[in-house]
């Protein structure tokens, strides 16, 4: 991680207030945080909040943030996920430097801690199945029932645990449990499982181990071994904190981390469960973890979301202790804010109608100077070719236009962006009655969009592309929200029933300004009057980029919702 400290926020959240107090009191001389993902899937927008918090605090306070992979369940973990997580964190703008760790780094130490608990009479080997343990765990109103194997001697437990490690028992035949209190009001304290037998090849340790520690046994001790000062978790781990504290109090660990919980990120029109995201991938509702409709960081990156926009969004929603759901429109607005400032403008006609300017010389070609980005003078200008045949978007023409339709229609004029005024004189149709071409005239006195000297006025400006110079064939992919319901994931509804059938549309007849042929994978652009787009970095071919719609110029869903 960079040694440079970030600017501290003017209004501090409760976590930063705690850190300030700990530093002021001398409890800690510095700050060490960590981000501990399980490598069993790709990171999503919820993880982005946790990343910005833990890494951001480390930057602000001149400390460090460890990246530690919780790789305690090899049956679901893959190196692919390890690699993708590191890529996502770096893309967001953070770096862990040399502080990369794995829970598997501590397997020998954790095994020793388990032996310590057995010797202290605080852990035992249980022969019950998981189903039997669940049946005797009790309820919130009733205490659990002690295992019939709870009173085994220390010697017997040590021998059995060693045999578990040596692979002398089948998977599921035995577990190691802490001996705490089966009547405890906190269900997590009712003799939790510490180790289970699991024969699965581990992506780092191979086949060395056939027993693996549970997450609850690994989490706190890993923090202690890394001398983490402030262990930041989401609220679902609040009830687990007494168990983590019990382990720390009963083990010879080198440090005492403080766990602090905050509200996780929930967003409308989205599901955040890794299990459900995996289901979307495996059942082919999406093309993969990095499908641009997915709430994964890799999906958002491929769609063209700027990393700065995600960081700004996480900063805007803040850190609280109360679960809530944030409108995805806030995220989309954060994306627009960054892209409006940084993206160059180009003209693109997605659903073209041909226009022939009958009074324009067929051999003539003019070049018009257009501004690349009105928000950034340093972006300069470009030259755009203009000729007799053009393309305009079908949405910008209406044959029988109502009074409030100000774009092109029969007998009316409209301004072509940066070029001339255009008037429609004749409409050509095919046998099916569909408009295929417009015959128009232009006013040469209006070059550059200037108003004519006779006082005529128009109320609309439309974009266009020279038919002779258009970059084609071009593929444009229109991505939208994956779900049609703002809360698709509840106990009363199946999230798959709310897949938005219009979340992905492919256009293959788009006509693009010729300079777009030079766009490279990941390059963003604003298609004027259409939206923000990004050259896809997966399906890229030299000279044949695919453009993904990142977000529209405005929130079209707000209009639908208000009807």
Backbone phi and psi for residue 490, each to the nearest 5 degrees, phi listed first: -135, 170
CATH match of 348-463 with 2.40.240.10: yes
CA distance 107 to 157: 19
From 312, 273, 367, 349, select the one nearest 530 (Cα to Cα): 349
Average pLDDT over residues 434-438: 95
User: What is the distance of C-alpha 74 from the center of its chain?
Assistant: 24
Task: Give 146's contacts (C-beta < 8 A, 6+ positions apart).
Answer: 182, 191
Q: How many CA atoms lie within 13 A of 341 on its CB side?
A: 8
Residue 250 makes CB contacts below 8 A (sequence gap 6+) with 117, 120, 122
- In the predicted structure, residue 421 carries a pLDDT above the cut 50: yes
Q: Give pLDDT, residue 2.
A: 45
Q: Single out the residue of 25, 34, 31 nearest to residue 8, CA to CA.
A: 31
* The pLDDT of residue 301 is above 50: yes
| CA–CA dist 410, 397 (Å, integer) | 9
User: What Cα–Cα distance (Å) separates residue 514 from each residue in 343, 372, 505, 528?
Assistant: 17, 14, 23, 14
User: What pLDDT score was predicted for residue 10?
Assistant: 60
Query: Whole-angstrom Cα distance, residue 547 to residue 522?
Result: 9
pLDDT bucket at 62, cuts 50 / 70 / 90: very high
DSSP 431: T
**Residue 88 host element (H or E):** helix 79-92
Question: What is residue 537's predicted lDDT score, i.e. its pLDDT?
Answer: 84
Q: Which of 16, 179, 241, 274 is catalytic?
A: 274
* 264 catalytic per annotation: yes
- Please say if the pLDDT value at position 563 is more than 70: no
5 Cβ partners below 8 Å, 6+ apart?
A: 59, 60, 61, 62
Q: Between 3.30.420.480, 3.40.50.2300, 3.90.800.10, 3.90.440.10, what CATH number should domain 107-214 receive? A: 3.90.800.10
For residue range 522-555, list pLDDT tens digits in order: 999 999 999 999 999 887 777 778 999 999 998 7
H helices within 185-327, ranges in order? 215-225, 241-250, 274-282, 297-303, 307-317
pLDDT recorded at residue 453 = 87
The long-range contacts involving 23-28, CB below 8 angstroms and separated by at least 24 positions, are 23/61, 28/229
Q: What does the pLDDT read at residue 558?
A: 59
Cα separation, 275 vs 273, whole angstroms: 5
274 is catalytic: yes
Active site residue 332: no
Q: Which CATH entry fits the domain spanning 267-345+474-563: 2.40.240.10, 1.10.10.10, 1.10.600.10, 3.30.56.10? A: 2.40.240.10
Report the pLDDT averaged over residues 117-122.
Answer: 98
Per DSSP, the three-state class of 199 is: coil
Which candidate, 396, 329, 379, 340, places its Cα nearest to that of 532? 340
Q: What's the CA gap between 563 and 558, in Å, rounded? A: 9
What is the reported pLDDT for 284?
A: 97
Per-residue HEC secondary structure of 485-527 comes to: CCCCCECCECHHHHECCCCEEEEEEEEECHHHHHCCCCCEEEE
For the chain, what are the domain ranges? 107-214, 267-345+474-563, 348-463
Taking CB atoms within 8 Å and a gap of at least 24, the contacts of 327-334 are: 327/267, 327/268, 328/267, 328/268, 328/269, 328/270, 328/481, 329/268, 329/555, 329/557, 329/558, 331/45, 331/267, 332/551, 332/555, 333/555, 334/309, 334/310
Residues 440-454 have pLDDT tens digits of 999 999 999 899 988
Strand order in the sheet with 175-178: 123-126, 175-178, 193-197, 211-213
Per-residue model confidence as pLDDT tens digits over 241-258: 999 999 999 999 999 999
Task: Evaluate if residue 323 carries a pLDDT over 90.
Answer: no
The catalytically annotated residue of 199, 264, 382, 447 is 264
- Average pLDDT of the chain, as a whole number: 94
Alpha helix locations (H) across 415-490?
Answer: none
The pLDDT score that the predictor gives to residue 8 is 52
pLDDT of residue 492: 86
In 123-240, where does DSSP find H-type helix? 130-135, 154-166, 215-225
Residue 5 has pLDDT above 50, yes or no: no
Q: Please compute the mean of the pLDDT values over residues 284-305 and round it to a whole number.
A: 97
pLDDT at 474: 82
Which SS3 state, helix, strand or coil, does residue 125 take?
A: strand
Strands (DSSP E) along 306-412, which ranges?
A: 325-326, 345-346, 348-349, 352-357, 366-371, 381-386, 389-393
Residue-wise pLDDT for 470-487, tens only, equals 997 789 999 999 999 999
Mean pLDDT value of segment 490-507:
94
Work out the number of other CB atoms within 10 angstroms of the CB of residue 327: 16
3-state secondary structure of 379: helix
Q: Tell me which of 501 and 1 has the higher pLDDT.
A: 501
**What are the backbone angles phi and psi of residue 442, rounded to the nearest 5°?**
-120, 160
Average pLDDT over residues 429-439: 95
The reply to whether 267-345+474-563 and 348-463 are identical in fold is: yes
Measured between alpha carbons, how far is 272 from 46 in angstroms, rounded to an integer? Answer: 7
- Which pLDDT value is given to residue 281? 97
């Amino acid at each position: 991680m960079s040694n440079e400290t970030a600017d501290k926020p003017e209004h501090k959240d409760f976590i930063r207030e705690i850190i300030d107090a700990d530093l002021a009191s001398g409890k800690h001389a510095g700050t060490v945080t960590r981000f501990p993902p399980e490598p069993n899937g790709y990171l999503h927008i919820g993880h982005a909040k946790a990343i910005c918090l833990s890494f951001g605090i480390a930057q602000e306070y001149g400390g460090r943030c460890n990246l530690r992979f919780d790789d305690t369940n090899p049956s679901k973990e893959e190196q692919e996920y390890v690699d993708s997580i590191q890529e996502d964190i770096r893309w967001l703008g953070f770096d862990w430097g040399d502080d990369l760790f794995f829970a598997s780094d501590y397997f020998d130490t954790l095994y020793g801690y388990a032996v310590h608990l057995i010797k202290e009479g605080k852990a035992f080997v249980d022969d019950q199945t998981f189903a039997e343990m669940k049946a005797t765990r009790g309820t919130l109103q009733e205490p659990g029932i002690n295992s019939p194997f709870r009173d085994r001697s220390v010697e017997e437990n040590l021998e059995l645990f060693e045999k578990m490690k040596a692979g002398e028992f089948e998977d599921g035949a035995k577990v190691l449990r802490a001996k705490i209190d089966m009547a405890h009001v906190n269900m997590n304290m009712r003799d939790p499982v510490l180790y289970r037998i699991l024969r699965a090849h581990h992506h780092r340790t191979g086949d060395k181990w056939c027993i693996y520690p549970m997450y609850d046994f690994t989490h706190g001790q890993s923090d202690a071994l890394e001398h983490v000062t402030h262990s930041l978790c989401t609220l679902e781990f609040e009830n687990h904190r007494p168990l983590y504290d019990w382990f720390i109090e009963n083990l010879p660990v080198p440090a005492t981390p403080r766990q602090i919980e905050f509200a996780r990120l929930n967003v409308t029109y989205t599901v955040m469960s890794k299990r459900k995201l995996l289901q979307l991938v495996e059942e082919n509702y999406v093309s993969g973890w990095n499908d641009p409709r997915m709430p994964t960081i890799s999906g958002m990156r491929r769609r063209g979301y700027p990393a700065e926009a995600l960081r700004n969004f996480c900063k805007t929603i803040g850190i609280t202790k109360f679960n809530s759901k944030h409108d995805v429109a806030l995220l989309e607005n954060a994306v627009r804010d960054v892209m409006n400032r940084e993206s160059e403008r180009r003209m693109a006609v997605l659903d073209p109608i041909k226009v022939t300017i009958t009074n324009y010389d067929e051999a003539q070609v003019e070049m018009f100077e257009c501004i690349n980005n009105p928000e950034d003078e340093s972006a300069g200008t470009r030259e755009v070719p203009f000729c007799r045949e053009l393309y305009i978007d079908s949405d910008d023409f209406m044959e029988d236009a109502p009074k409030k339709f100000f774009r092109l229609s029969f007998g009316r004029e409209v301004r072509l962006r940066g070029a001339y005024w255009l008037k429609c004189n004749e409409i050509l149709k095919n046998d099916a009655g569909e408009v295929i071409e417009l015959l128009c005239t232009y006013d040469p006195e209006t070059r550059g969009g200037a108003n004519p000297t006779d006082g005529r006025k128009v109320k609309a400006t439309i974009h266009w592309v020279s038919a002779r110079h258009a970059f084609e064939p071009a593929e444009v992919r229109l991505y939208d929200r994956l779900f049609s319901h703002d809360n698709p994931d509840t106990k009363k509804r199946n999230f798959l029933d709310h897949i938005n059938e219009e979340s992905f549309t492919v256009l293959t007849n788009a006509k693009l300004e010729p300079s777009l042929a030079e766009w490279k994978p990941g390059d963003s652009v604003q298609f004027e009057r259409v939206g923000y787009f990004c050259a896809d970095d997966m399906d890229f071919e030299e000279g044949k980029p695919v453009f993904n719609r990142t977000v529209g110029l405005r929130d079209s869903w707000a209009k639908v919702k208000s009807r």
